[in-house]
Amino acid sequence: MTVTDLPVSERRVLLRSDLNVPLRDGRVADDFRLRAALPAIDQLRDAGATVILCSHLGRPRGRVVDGMRMAPVARALAELGGFPVVHASDSVGENARRLIAGAGPGDVVLLENTRFHPGESTNDPDYASELAEWADLFVLDAFGSAHRAHASTTGVSALLRSAAGPLLERELAVFSTLMDNPPVPFTVVLGGAKISDKLPLIRALLPKVDAMLVGGGMCFSFLAVEGYEVGNSLVEPDYFDSLRELLASPEADRLVLPSDIVTADRFEEEAGATAVGVNSIEEDTWGLDIGPETSQQFAEVIGGSGSVFWNGPMGVFEWEAFRSGTATVADAMARSGAFRVAGGGDSVAALRMLGCQADLDHLSTGGGAGLELLEGKTLPGVRGLERWAR
């Protein structure tokens, strides 16, 4: 079910959003996820619901951490949305009870960080019951947390009539297109630091794609397996056997690895950048970006694609000297006529830094959740909603 299927008028609705945003000096440093959460809040407020909003923030591991409180989120959300947001000092307890009792249709009460309670990450039924006590209905809109079987994502949906919010609905529709009926040629661009994070995705998608472009730190494990010197670049030897199997598979020709790399003699922002062929990487250097030849090759493949999914930067894009590969991919995505989707925090951050975010068809709010969908998994949060299907 979706929000329009719920009788929300003059009802209290517990809305699980993804408000896990970076904080800096007591302020929200990036409001991407807050803006993505607003449509669900607006829809519920406009329909006459009292919105009880909850989310985790960071990884406090079941204890109260003052630097991970939701107060800055409440202030930023109120400023962006143009409506008051009342912040409760806990997600359960007397303060939350008093504020919710005093709230009416159109009001928004933001509960404190759900991960301050150990019962959140263990999906403790008692904690889920305490959260469910605040509301008549439940809406899950936190795609970025839907792959976690937590109390506020799956536990509550067993206790309250539940539906998917508009963000979750949109995310599932986009990933369904990529999984089941992507416009062809279908290209996947993968980067980021670790091959271990992407190996299940590579195994699942390689038979389904026309091209898989591999950059970022993860490419060096592939290059090492192929016998190239990779210097001090990040490699994960525990996964070499798995990579050998992939490179020997019938679909191995769909993997496109870098032909050149931007290297530096030290892992520092001010280090000098040198582009070299993959057969010329020196022993004591670091590979910090894909090279210009590879960047152009990747751009041409993206430009000729019918659909593109991108997860993970091509290098250390935060440092200007090692940003070119990521910038070239971002520009190619922006210019392409393909169905274009980017997911993962670093990819979205890079697109926003480079001013290309508005040119894509979809920026996903969930890195891990999107990868699990593309791996063929069912998200626990979504499974919890299925019991309420029409």
Q: So where are the chain's domains?
A: 3-166, 182-374
Whole-model pTM: value is 0.93
How much is the pLDDT for 357?
83
Which residue among the candidates 194, 208, 335, 352 is catalytic per the annotation?
Answer: 194
**Catalytic residue list contains 155:** no
Q: Looking at this protein, which amino acid is placed at residue 284? A: D
How much is the pLDDT for 390?
64
> Strand 50-54 relative to strand 12-16: parallel, antiparallel, unpaired?
parallel
Which residue among the candidates 345, 366, 381, 384 is catalytic per the annotation?
Answer: 345
How much is the pLDDT for 344?
84
Residue among 332, 260, 321, 255 nearest 290 (CA): 260
| Burial classification of residue 51, based on how many CB atoms lie within 10 Å of its CB (0-12 exposed, 13-18 middle, 19 or more buried) | buried
Is 110 in contact with 88 (CB distance < 8 Å)?
A: yes
Structure token digits, residue 260: 């050149």
> Strand 274-277 relative to strand 137-140: parallel, antiparallel, unpaired?
unpaired
Which residue among the candidates 12, 33, 115, 340 is catalytic per the annotation?
Answer: 33
Structure token digits, residue 15: 């809305």
Which residue among the candidates 303, 304, 306, 368 is catalytic per the annotation?
Answer: 368
**Catalytic residue list contains 104:** no
CATH C-level class of 3-166? alpha beta
**Catalytic residue list contains 368:** yes
- The yes-or-no answer to whether 3-166 and 182-374 have a common fold is yes
Domain 182-374 has CATH 3.40.50.2020: no
Q: How many CA atoms lie within 13 A of 230 on its CB side?
A: 24
Is 116 in contact with 90 (CB distance < 8 Å)?
A: yes
DSSP 21-87: --EETTEES--HHHHHHHHHHHHHHHTTPEEEEE---S---SS--GGG-SHHHHHHHHHHHTS--EE
Q: Tally helices (H) and strands (E) across the chain.
A: 14, 17
C-alpha 44/C-alpha 108 separation (Å) is 10
**Catalytic residue list contains 194:** yes
Structure token digits, residue 9: 């008028």
In the chain (390 residues long), the average pLDDT of successive 10-residue segments reads: 95 98 94 96 98 97 96 98 97 97 98 98 98 98 96 97 98 96 97 92 96 97 97 96 96 97 96 96 96 98 97 95 96 96 89 88 92 94 90
How much is the pLDDT for 90?
97
How much is the pLDDT for 367?
86
Is 152 in contact with 56 (CB distance < 8 Å)?
A: yes
Structure token digits, residue 206: 């390689």
Other CB atoms within 10 Å distance of the CB of residue 285: 21
